[in-house]
A and B are shown apart, each in its own frame.
Chain A
Amino acid sequence: MNFIKISILLSILFISINIINAQDAASLLHDMDEIIAAPKDKEAAVIMIITDKTGKEKKREASLKQKGKFKKLYRYTGPEKQAGIATLSLPDDAIWLYMPAFGKAVRINLLSKSQAFTGTDFSHEDMSGIPYLERYEPKFINSIHPEHYVIELIPKSKKSKYTKIVLTLNKTVHYPLKMEYFDKTNKHFKTATYAYEKKEGYWYAKEVFMTNLNKKHSTKIILTDVKFDQGINDDEFLVENLKQ
């Protein structure tokens, strides 16, 4: 009899822990989304270093302007051949590409978000401004480590290239430390590591390093001269203003 009681108690306890954990995971992910989207706007100089499997590096430089979650403008400044090219991301997955030599902006309709973002190891899904909590179902895995939590993210959309993302989250500030991406066969194939820094009261990823384990290819994105809440005008994100 005692055994039955203990079993029932343990089951209730287990279920409640799971419920608590689910809630915890969701609130932690929500916190992370809040940190990412905290500034009203952001300006920075971006350096992208793309390394292929032979170790050869390609460097790309751009200026970044971001307002809210969904308005993002990259203007490429280097290499010289690509200087002046701009990509503008707007809400509803609208991406515009401006090519100065053609003197016009063209809208790029991406049929698949799993495509690489301009030759990097990030996919358009990785660069999306939509909060993680809206896109993924979080599941708490553990908090064994004194400094971080481990949460599993299951994509809500069937169109995702991933079956899951294993997120490692800082315990005190709740910013991401690492994301491990798993493909359709449940094989870990990509890892992103983040180096967060606090500036002007905001936490931001100063460096993101994405490695594609299959292709032995990696991309490092470094942000410098970061400025927050500069009051960037909405006009900066108008397609017609892409031509400077």
Chain B
Amino acid sequence: MASTLFFGNQVSQLKIDADILRSLPDDDPDATLLKSIGKTFGGNNMGVIILETDNIYQTSVLEHVQALTDTVTNIEGISSVSSLSNIINIKGGDYGIEVGKLVDEYDMPTTSEDFQELRNKILANEMYKGSIVSEDETSTLIIFTLEEDTDVNVVAKQIINKTEALQLPEKLYYIGSPMLVTYISDLMKRDLTKLLPISFLVIALVLFLSFRSISGVLLPLLTAVISIIWSLGMMAFLDYNMSMISNNIPIILLAVGSAYTIHVINRINQVKKIEHSNVVSTAMSYVIIPVILAAVTTIIGFISFIFGAYLEMIVDFGIFTALGTFFACLLSIFFVPVIMDLFKSEKKKVIKQKKQPLLTTKILQPLTTALFKNSKAIFIFWMLLLGISLFGMFSINRSVDIQEYFKKDNPTRLAENIMVEKFGGTKPVFVLFKGDMQNPEVLKKMIQTSEFMKESPDINSAMSVAKLISEMNYAITGSREIPDSQEKIEQLWFLLEGNEVMNRFVNEELNEGIIISKFKSPDNKSKKVFAKKMKDFIRENSTKQCQISITGMPFVDITMDNSLVKSQIGSITIAILFVIIFVGFILRSLRGGIYTSIPIVAAIFILFGVMGLTGISLNIATVLVASVALGIGIDYSIHIYTHFNESFKKTKDLQKAIEESIQISGKAIIINVVSVSAGFMVLIFSEMVPLQYFGILIAISMLSSCLGALTLLPAILILMNRKKQLQ
């Protein structure tokens, strides 16, 4: 009680953090560089409002851009805003240079001549064309940067509320890291508040239908809820945040955490029919080992994420789900029996066991008969199924695109589409230059790099301080070249000093500067081609005086994509090996370890087969399914195998041992599978697409590992032991 109260209080302080960037590992040079650039140049705190209308060249539209710019500027936590209404314009002419704004807020264009002049200015400068105004003239951007250490969620919400309150006739879309993070946090909160109660009710219903008793419903749910509170409380206590992956923990623990108690209650009920004294302790002596085994194997499944997972949030998810599973196991063997013993008299009143035999007579008994009659056929059927799955496995797609988190009609996804179609995408690419930022050679190298980048079909524009200096030089001398003398550059710099845009391009010490660009295609092949081209270029051009390095989301995506397969193979291999070794050690038989893992390996084959054949991609959420399924699904084989082993040793009767394990443990397994799958199927109603697939895929895996444990494993056991008996 005390622990639950303590951790319950901690849960209320648990923070949601949907920022994928913070989850990038520190040992990946691309990710580290991306994070450090974000910190030095503020690039990761940049948000965008897209204003979409029929034609932006209208006075009213410009006034609305102005209103939006003013509104965002005045929000606390915003460090800079850049839009058509305040962007700097430096223009050369006979009279000298004109330093001002592209659009004068006090003298807005009104006539068609004014607008033609504005249009010409925009078309002539890549700082504007396709960067702040779309080439089809229907959209314009209001780009803002948040201050460091500001509460991203609060500021982003104020931006949405205050700009929507303007009730502008144009369509507004919000995108960029701060908006995306806030949006995902909202979806996560909505998911938690909507899905958890549904999942709870669904599991309660399944449990009621299975046990027909109050304790049969309450105890599994209670252990699950307590383990959720303890693990999430521990998460908050240790200062971890809830990520878009660990958002799943409550639902997973609700499903997994209830399983151990289901087995304990089932055994106690079973023993009660035969014995009248020491019911609980007798039942526990049978069930304690399989429950511990089941929990440890599940924990291994979760812990396997620690090895090979690219994103830190996946590692965190593994640790805390494993912890929750451990708590659930502890509660089911120490807390549940005590409660069952305390309330044993009351239980009888509510037991209404009429329907219990139905599962046994209609499913389990015919299944046992079929197993003995057609064990070879069952084995062949499984082999065929695995063959088809193997075929499907080769067509699995991989995806690391965060946009896949949203449903197709989601405003964020629509905004992303506009950004890709009209503004060259949203995936930032940064080229970092270390050297004297006022040295002509360094600036020339920056220009050369920008030009080289733009040769790629996925790069529309590349902005840097070198570009600004070249524009200034053009305004003064008529030449767009970078001046040859450092003195000239230093003096041009004087004009730019104090301009907010400078902080985005160079650091305070002027020994680091960046090229800011965007990558258009979400396709991984294009990213790889670009990455290779750029890395070759950098290798040839980087010098001691001008050290060049490149990073950005396309580079992180490539590593993440490679890591998907690597971590998938890694975590499954580790999990299977550990499971075989652990189960083999506890059962004192390596063969036992191998037998128990056969159904789950088959289930994983089926899982990947289904993913390949249905086109469900392997992403940061679905990559978890195999190990989670392995951890949960192995329990079914463990229960069947240990039960069979025990019974076979005692009776030496193969048929009886199979019958008993299928009819007693099989029943608990079916109840467990139905409740766990139903719990996970609730994820179909999730606001986030990968979680929907996650739910479906886990349910499929549960079903196939249950079928494997109830058909394939017994068929193998029959075939192997029949041979032995014959010999």
Contacts and interface: CB of A to CB of B under 8 A. Distances in A.
Contacts of B99: 108-111, 115
For the complex of A and B, 8 pairs with smallest distance between CB atoms: A111-B100, A119-B498, A107-B96, A119-B497, A106-B96, A101-B487, A159-B106, A99-B491
Contact of A112 (B70, B104, B483): B104
A101 B488 contact: yes
Contacts of A81: 438, 490, 493
B97 A109 contact: yes
Contacts of A111: 89, 98-101, 104
A185 interface: yes
Contacts of B491: 82, 85, 99-102
B498 A102 contact: no
A241 interface: no
A193 interface: no
A102 B495 CA distance: 14
Contacts of B334: none
A155 B89 CA distance: 26
Contacts of A108: 96-99
B498 A120 contact: yes
A109 B476 contact: no
B498 A118 contact: yes
B59 interface: no
Contact of A85 (B89, B476, B494, B499): B494
B85 to A, nearest CB: 11
Interface in A77-127: 81-82, 85, 96-97, 99-102, 105-112, 115-116, 118-120
Contacts of A56: 508
Interface string A37-80: 00000000000001010001000000000000000000000000
A62 to B, nearest CB: 12
B361 interface: no
9 contacts: A52-B508, A85-B491, A97-B96, A101-B483, A107-B96, A109-B95, A111-B99, A112-B100, A119-B499
Nearest to A79: B490
Contacts of A215: 79
Nearest to B102: A111
B545 interface: no
Interface string B470-491: 0000001100000101011011
Contact of A107 (B95, B100, B494, B508): B95
Contacts of A112: 100-101, 104-106
A134 interface: no
Chain B: interface residue count, which band?
20 to 34
B74 interface: yes
Which of A82, A107, A111 gathers the greatest number of chain B CB atoms within 10 Å? A111
Interface string B496-517: 0111000000001000000000
A119 B500 CA distance: 9
A243 interface: no
Interface string B413-432: 00000000000000000000
A227 interface: no
Contact of B74 (A106, A107, A185): A185
Which of B97, B438, B492, B498 gathers the greatest number of chain A CB atoms within 10 Å? B498
Interface string B432-468: 0000001000000000000000000000000000000
A96 B494 CA distance: 14
A184 B492 CA distance: 32
B97 A99 contact: no
Nearest to A160: B106
B443 to A, nearest CB: 15
A158 B494 contact: no
B497 A118 contact: yes
A56 B503 CA distance: 14
A183 B69 CA distance: 14
A54 to B, nearest CB: 8
A99 B95 CA distance: 16
A122 to B, nearest CB: 10
A46 to B, nearest CB: 16
B68 to A, nearest CB: 13
B664 to A, nearest CB: 69
A215 B508 CA distance: 16
Contact of A101 (B105, B485, B497): B485
Nearest to B473: A102
Contacts of A107: 95-97
Contacts of A85: 491, 494
Given A101-B487, A102-B488, A107-B97, A118 B476 contact: no
A109 B98 contact: yes
Given A111-B101, A159-B106, A187-B74, 14 more contacts: A99-B476, A99-B491, A99-B492, A101-B485, A102-B476, A102-B488, A106-B476, A108-B97, A109-B97, A109-B99, A111-B104, A116-B498, A116-B499, A183-B74
Contacts of B497: 118-119
B494 A82 contact: yes
Contacts of B490: 81-82, 101
Contact of B106 (A52, A99, A158): A158
A52 B89 CA distance: 24
A169 B495 CA distance: 34
Contacts of B105: 112
Which of A50, A85, A97 gathers the greatest number of chain B CB atoms within 10 Å? A97
A73 B68 CA distance: 38
Contacts of A119: 497-499
Contacts of A50: 498
A109 B508 contact: no
A37 B101 CA distance: 31
Contacts of A106: 96-97, 476
Given A82-B491, A158-B106, A109 B498 contact: no
Interface in B527-573: none
A99 B491 CA distance: 6
Contacts of B495: 97
Contacts of B104: 111-112
Contacts of B483: 101
Interface in B94-118: 95-101, 104-106
A110 B99 CA distance: 5
